[in-house]
């Protein structure tokens, strides 16, 4: 108290300076925080509209996938802190690119695509969950090829997907790099989902698999594609076509997602964060840095995670990670840094002034 009263004038003036510096950015900063408060899950019901998906035993993939997805959404809605978005809630055709874009635009934390499998004979059955990766056997490639072939229904698929040909094995080489950063997290989710299927529902476990699914290639977040079972297997087809089976599968998937979310939170709390020294140590001077992004995810500060920007620095504040670019004592250079960052595509970026170790 005594200290504050005696230093009253300088204290107040410093406060005012910082206040006016922050003011223009207040709106942006608020919107960002708001968005990151919720754990956003994008649910993607495969196929729809003119694309029926597979029709094994007369069961319709597009209808069953939608029912399961809507049920997952209802289950997730019971969890505060989870926000659910859908790529479709009706029987409409949505391109693979648009599905991924819905998730990317929302800066979603998870992308979960739901499908139903098919085979040329009635024997194969069971559930499997895919992450984007290099296929280990021909069967996995076949599943990806069949699911990717829906792009033939799009007029400009060659252009839209950079010459990708669903039927050509060559097209599948190299596409796995796109999801590399999210692979570990995607596998964790896939594991949880398969665990729910097999321990609680006693579905046959076909495991966590890798293959080149286009829709997963296009997303920038942990993403899985679940083949909930085979419509070409009569008893499994009946199970998945029944409301009870759809609800059971949806509950299992939703429980897997919630477990994944809780695991992330736990890691956030326990994981030590390398302390960036510049804010703490620059106690005697003013520096400027550009805040590029805020996220609940602990990202590696690699250029590919930050639209090519190098030397990103990471700081933790509570449950949130802040990512900064540049560090300078010169306001002019700070402006240049800001322009650089905006040019890279971070339109909401702003300058943070650090004075006496305080933002």
Site string for Zn ion, 25-54 (x = CB under 5 A): ---------------------x------x-
Instruction: Name the segment binding Zn ion (CB under 5 A); options: 72-80, 114-122, 173-181, 264-272.
Output: 114-122
CA dist 164 and 269 (Å) reads 41
- Count CA within 13 A, CB hemisphere, residue 244: 4
Q: Which of residues 51-70 bind Zn ion (CB under 5 A)?
A: 53
* By the rule CB under 5 A, 133 interacts with Zn ion: no
Instruction: Name the segment binding Zn ion (CB under 5 A); options: 75-83, 111-119, 137-145, 281-289.
Output: 111-119
Question: Coil, helix or strand for 177?
Answer: helix
Nearer to Zn ion, 218 or 315 (CB): 218
For residue 343, what is the enclosing H or E element? Answer: helix 331-344
Q: Among all chains, which residue has been given the structure tokens 């229904």?
A: 153
Smallest distance, Zn ion to C-beta of residue 114, A: 9
Please write down the HEC assignment for all residues of 253-302: HHHHHHHHHHHHHHHHHHCCCCCCHHHHHCCCCEEEEEEEEEECCCCCCC
What one-character-per-residue DSSP string does 131-172 give?
A: EES--SSHHHHHHHHHHHGGGGGSTTHHHHTTT--TT-GGGG
Nearer to Zn ion, 141 or 299 (CB): 141
Nearer to Zn ion, 53 or 326 (CB): 53
Smallest distance, Zn ion to C-beta of residue 169, A: 20
Smallest distance, Zn ion to C-beta of residue 46, A: 4
Smallest distance, Zn ion to C-beta of residue 228, A: 10
* By the rule CB under 5 A, 115 interacts with Zn ion: yes
Smallest distance, Zn ion to C-beta of residue 23, A: 50
Task: Let me know if 15 is exposed, middle or buried by CB neighbors in 10 A (0-12, 13-18, 19+).
Answer: exposed
Q: Which of residues 171-200 bind Zn ion (CB under 5 A)?
A: none
* By the rule CB under 5 A, 222 interacts with Zn ion: no
Tokens of 143: 């599943």
Contacts with Zn ion by CB under 5 A: the residue count is 4
C-alpha 263 chain-centroid distance = 15
Smallest distance, Zn ion to C-beta of residue 215, A: 10
Binding stretches for Zn ion (CB under 5 A): 46, 53, 115, 147
């Amino acid at each position: 108290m005594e200290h504050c009263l005696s230093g009253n004038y300088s204290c107040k003036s410093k406060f005012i300076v910082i206040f006016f510096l922050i003011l223009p950015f207040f709106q942006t900063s608020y919107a960002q925080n708001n968005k990151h408060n919720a754990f956003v899950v994008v649910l993607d019901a495969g196929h729809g509209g003119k694309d029926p998906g597979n029709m094994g035993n007369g069961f319709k993939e597009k209808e069953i996938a939608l029912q399961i997805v809507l049920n997952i959404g209802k289950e997730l809605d019971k969890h505060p802190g989870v926000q659910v978005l859908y790529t479709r809630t009706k029987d409409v055709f949505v391109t693979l690119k648009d599905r991924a874009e819905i998730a990317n635009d929302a800066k979603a934390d998870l992308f979960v695509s739901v499908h139903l499998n098919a085979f040329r004979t009635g024997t194969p059955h069971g559930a499997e969950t895919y992450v984007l990766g290099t296929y280990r056997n021909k069967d996995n490639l076949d599943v990806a090829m069949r699911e990717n072939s829906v792009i033939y229904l799009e007029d400009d698929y060659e252009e839209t997907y950079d010459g990708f040909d669903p039927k050509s094995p060559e097209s599948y080489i190299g596409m796995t790099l796109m999801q590399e950063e999210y692979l570990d997290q995607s596998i964790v989710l896939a594991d949880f989902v398969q665990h729910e299927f097999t321990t609680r529902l006693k579905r046959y476990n076909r495991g966590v698999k890798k293959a080149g699914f286009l829709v997963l290639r296009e997303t920038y977040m942990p993403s899985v594609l679940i083949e909930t079972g085979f419509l070409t297997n009569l008893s499994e087809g009946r199970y998945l076509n029944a409301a009870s089976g759809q609800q059971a599968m949806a509950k299992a998937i939703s429980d897997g997602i919630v477990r994944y979310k809780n695991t992330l939170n736990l890691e956030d709390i326990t994981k030590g964060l390398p302390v960036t020294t510049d804010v703490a140590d620059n106690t005697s001077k003013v520096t400027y840095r550009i805040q590029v992004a805020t996220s609940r995810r602990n990202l590696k500060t690699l250029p590919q995670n930050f639209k090519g920007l190098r030397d990103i620095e990471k700081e933790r504040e509570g449950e949130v990670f802040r990512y900064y670019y540049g560090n300078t004592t010169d306001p002019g250079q700070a402006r240049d840094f800001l322009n650089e960052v905006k040019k890279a595509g971070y339109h909401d970026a702003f300058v943070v002034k650090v004075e006496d170790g305080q933002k």
